[in-house]
Amino acid sequence: MRERRLRIHERTIVSRFSSVAVQKIRGYRVPVPWLGASLKPSPLLLLLRTNAIHSWRRLLAIRQQSRLLSGMIGVFVAGYLVLAFELFFHGMKFIAKFPGLGAVLTERLLYTLFAFLFALLLLSNLVIAYTNLFRNRETAFLMTLPVSHQTIFRWKFIETTILASWAFLFLIAPLLAAFGLVRGVPWHFYPLTVLLIGLFIILPAVFGAVLAIGIGRHLDRKSFQVVLILLAIVLLAFAAFWWKSNPVDDDLLDRRTLEALDRLLAKTRFTMFPFLPSYWLSAAVLQWAEGIFRNATFFAAVLLSNTLFFGSIAFTRFGHLFYNTASAVQSRANGGFKFHLFSGERNSHRPGLLEKFFNGLTWLAPDTRALAVKDLRMFWRDTTQWGQSVMFFGLLGAYIINLRNFTHQLSSPFWIQAVAFLNLGACAFNLASVTTRFVFPQFSLEGRRLWIVGMSPMGLPRVVKIKYWLASTLSLAVTLALVTLSCYLLQMPWTDVAFFGAVITIMTFTLNGLAVGLGVIYPNVKETNPNKIVSGFGGTLCFVLSSIYIIASLSLLVLGGGGYHSHSDWVFVSLGVFLGLSLLIGWLPMKLGLRQLRSFEV
- The residue from 309, 330, 351 where one domain ends is 330
Give me the sign of the Cα torsion angle 63, 65, 66, 72: negative
The pLDDT assigned to 420 comes to 79
Phi first, then psi, for residue 148 (nearest 5°) are -65, 150
Listed in sequence order, the DSSP H helices in 185-336 are 189-200, 202-218, 222-245, 257-267, 277-289, 293-330
Q: Is 20 in the same domain as 162?
A: no
How do 37-38 and 31-32 pair as beta strands? Answer: antiparallel
DSSP tally for the chain: helices H, then strands E: 23, 2
Q: Is residue 298 part of a domain?
A: yes
Domain limits for position 27: 2-42
Return left, alpha or beta for 382; rule: phi > 0 is left, psi -120 to 50 is alpha, else beta. beta
Q: Is residue 263 part of a domain?
A: yes
Listed in sequence order, the DSSP H helices in 490-559 are 494-521, 530-534, 537-559
Residues 234 and 81: their CA atoms lie apart, in Å, by 41
397-451 residue pLDDT tens: 666 666 655 555 556 666 777 777 888 888 888 888 888 888 888 888 777 677 7
Give me the sign of the Cα torsion angle 279, 285, 290, 291: positive
The pLDDT assigned to 281 comes to 93
Q: Is residue 203 part of a domain?
A: yes
Q: Is 21 in the same domain as 96?
A: no
Q: Is residue 50 part of a domain?
A: no
Q: Is 189 in the same domain as 73?
A: yes
Return left, alpha or beta for 447; rule: phi > 0 is left, psi -120 to 50 is alpha, else beta. left
Q: What is the 3-state secondary structure (H, E, C) of 388-454?
A: HHHHHHHHHHHHHHHHHHCHHHCCCHHHHHHHHHHHHHHHHHHHHHHHHHHHHHHCHHHHHHHHHHH
Are the beta carbons of 364 and 470 closer than 8 angstroms? no
Q: Is 109 in the same domain as 228?
A: yes
How much is the pTM? 0.71
Q: Is 113 in the same domain as 248?
A: yes
Residues 228 and 240: their CA atoms lie apart, in Å, by 18
Q: C-alpha angle with apex 332: 146 to 220, nearest 5 degrees?
A: 120
Q: Is residue 52 part of a domain?
A: no
Q: How many domains does the chain have?
A: 4
Q: Is 300 in the same domain as 411?
A: no
Which residues does residue 31 pair with via DSSP β-bridges, in sequence order? 38
Residues 117 and 220: their CA atoms lie apart, in Å, by 30
Residues 65 and 521: their CA atoms lie apart, in Å, by 13
Q: Is 402 in the same domain as 446?
A: yes
**Dihedral (Cα; 473, 477, 478, 481), 10-degree rounding:** 150
The pLDDT assigned to 254 comes to 45
Q: Is residue 336 part of a domain?
A: no
Q: Is 346 in the same domain as 475?
A: no
Nearest in space to 246 (alpha carbons), one of 62, 423, 10, 405: 405
Q: Is 450 in the same domain as 363?
A: no
Phi first, then psi, for residue 38 (nearest 5°) are -115, 140
The letter for the amino acid at 358 is: F
Q: Is residue 586 part of a domain?
A: yes
Q: Classify 545 as helix, strand or coil.
A: helix
Phi first, then psi, for residue 32 (nearest 5°) are -125, 80
Low-confidence ranges of the chain (pLDDT < 50): 2, 6, 8-11, 13-38, 248, 250-254, 335-347
Q: Is 20 in the same domain as 131?
A: no
Q: Is residue 62 part of a domain?
A: no
Q: Is 455 in the same domain as 542?
A: yes
Q: Is 361 in the same domain as 234?
A: no
